[in-house]
Chain A
Amino acid sequence: MTNSKGIAKQFRPLNVFAHTVLMLGGLLLIYPIIFMFMAGMMSAEEYAKTVMGLFPIAKEPTFKNFMVLIGGASDSQVQTYYVNSILRTLYGLFWAMITSFLGGYVFARLRFKGRDTLFLVLLATQMIPGVVSVIPTFIEFARWPFAGGNYIFNGGKGILDSWWVYLIGGPSINIMGTFLVKQSLEKVPYELDEAAKIDGAGTFRIIFQILMPLQLPILAFIAITTSQGIWNDWTTPFFFTTSDNLQTLPAAISRMSQLAQNPMGLPDYPLMLTLGLGVTLPMLLLFFFFQRYIVQGLANAGIKG
């Protein structure tokens, strides 16, 4: 660190250059968000009449859309979408943390036949694109045993369009998380486990009281990336559910935008953009407060030199 302070003194023009590039680039990157916010202050009627410029300035600014976002409206389900999004994310997050930490522990610390082969197989399946399983998953859910479809080739609607889609389809083994925890745990000296064992700690005590606290940065990283993934996922609700009260916020927006492709339907663009802001903000706050863990977590894991 003393080293980098020295650099700061020697290369002042470089710092000025860096500030300029990072600031201008950053502004360019957040410009769409500013646009969303400004357009959100328009009513649908005003939006339809305005000639869109770089900055849509509402002549009669209204906070109606933002009120809908926060408090819901009599004719909208925004609050349901929010609750669904939050519940789904927390549930998925819970399982992601458990599977990635325990999985990482097993592959880093335990010795059993076929461990490395099994791990390689899991990592290899990580390469198979997710879209490959969307349609078969649809069929699997539609033909779920004891839910109306007991025969794989035809049957009822199974667990489609119900909370089971999220409960069963959400958690699985988080392979990328397992990989990161494994890499990170391998750097923790094994003597630590043995010392705890001599002191009489059981396996699960070692896992949760000794090793887990040391892995907080990497776990925070996994938590942030996982929750972003689940929070922004619109395909699962979009393809596997139809009821309005099962939609999440991003899925609701994608439904509204499908309306836009229909020449008869007039989408409420300002409301759509406001909802988009509503999707973005929680993740933004999460990132802002935990960003140091992202860098630290990545640096701790095995993808460093």
Chain B
Amino acid sequence: MKQRISGEGALIGEASAPSKGITKFMRNHKDAVIATIILGPMLLWWALISGFPTLFGFFLGFFEWVGVASTPKFIGFDNYVRFFNDPVYYMALWRAVWIGLLVTGLTIIIGFLVALLMNLPLFGKGIYRTMWYIPVVTSTVATTQIFNIFLDPNNGVINNILKGFGKEPIIWQYSVGWGVFWIVVYSIWKGIGGSALIWLAGLQSVDPVLYEAADIDGANRWQKFWNVTLPGVKPIATYIIITGLIGAVQIYEQVIFITGGGPYGQTEVLVYRILRDGFFDFNLGMAGASSVVLAAVVFVFTVAYFRYATENERSSRKKNARGAHGG
């Protein structure tokens, strides 16, 4: 088993003495044996539940298949060609990206400001945290229904209020702009608490010694914020932006339950399209090809940001280390 896990250079501190018998082998490769015992079953299960379906999905991208009773037909890159020629698909991808960027950006910025306030020594902090976090723990299917009740064209809460002011009611479902608007509002409502909490953890993990050192140096509040707090939370920014982007590009429950992709498919995002292809239109090949494109987009986002962030992190860590030891 051990020889099959390859990768040079990662080998550290293994005894190289020639061994005879199983006990000697155990003694020399104890870590590897334990790792195999623990990781082996986990990886097998993981391969079965995540690995195989993912690969199979990618594989389906090269086939045309309705999934019932027939055998798949190999069509090469035709699904991909269609993806980039049929506006239904590339528009869905484009929408997923810009709605995702919008949601992530706003959630992260507002979350950071809120976390700054929550980090103050306030009375009743726990209550605020809970209040802000409530939307995060609610189930999407349940809370999107509230938005449906609010946006109902006939008896919706917002339209009733508009009528109360003598204004014309708006049929939100007929407008792309309003559809996207409500999807974004819902996503921010749901994500803001989580973002604030992660930022809060980041703020609290900044070494207090650095603040004391800054105090001694006579730094004012702004200087402390720019020179201690911001560099201190940079690593957590990496985490929150990457996970936020990955999550936001995959928004689809809001689309299913609030706009249903309408009007005329103008608010469809890619994940929604994949599910439709797979479960309603039985176009499994297209679903597979779209999945590959989505995965590629997420991957590019992540790698690009990770590169940028690790470079920053390295330099800020150096600075921090100097500050902690020197001060």
Contacts and interface: CB of A to CB of B under 8 A. Distances in A.
**Interface magnitude class on chain B:** 35 or more
Interface stretch (B80-88, B101-109, B124-132, B174-182): B124-132
6 contacts: A7-B121, A153-B72, A253-B145, A257-B257, A280-B138, A299-B202
Contacts of B34: 106, 110, 203
A48 to B, nearest CB: 9
Nearest to B294: A129
A172 B50 contact: yes
B11 A52 contact: no
Interface in A247-298: 249-251, 253-254, 257, 260-261, 269, 272-273, 275-277, 279-280, 283-284, 286-288, 291-292, 294-298
Interface residues of A, number: 103
A304 B201 contact: yes
Contacts of B133: 287, 291
A136 B71 contact: no
A33 B134 contact: yes
A118 B5 contact: yes
A114 B6 contact: yes
A36 B132 contact: no
Contacts of A260: 148
Contacts of A153: 70-72
Contact of B298 (A21, A129, A136, A273): A129
Interface string A138-155: 111000000000000110
Interface of B: 2, 5-7, 10-14, 29, 31-32, 34-35, 38-39, 42-43, 45-46, 48-54, 56-58, 60, 67-72, 114, 117-118, 120-122, 126, 128-146, 148-149, 152, 155-157, 160-161, 189, 192-193, 197-198, 200-202, 204-208, 211-212, 215, 231-236, 238-239, 246, 249-250, 252, 257, 260, 271, 274-275, 278-279, 284, 287-288, 291-292, 294-295, 298-299, 302, 316-317, 320
A18 B51 CA distance: 47
Contacts of A62: none
A54 B149 CA distance: 11
Please name the 5 residue pairs, one residue from A and one from B, whose CB atoms are nearest each other, closest first: A276-B142, A26-B131, A304-B205, A298-B201, A114-B7
B295 A129 contact: yes
A21 B132 CA distance: 11
A19 interface: yes
Scoring B2, B46, B250 by chain A CB atoms within 10 A of each residue's CB, the highest score goes to B46
Contact of B142 (A132, A136, A273): A273
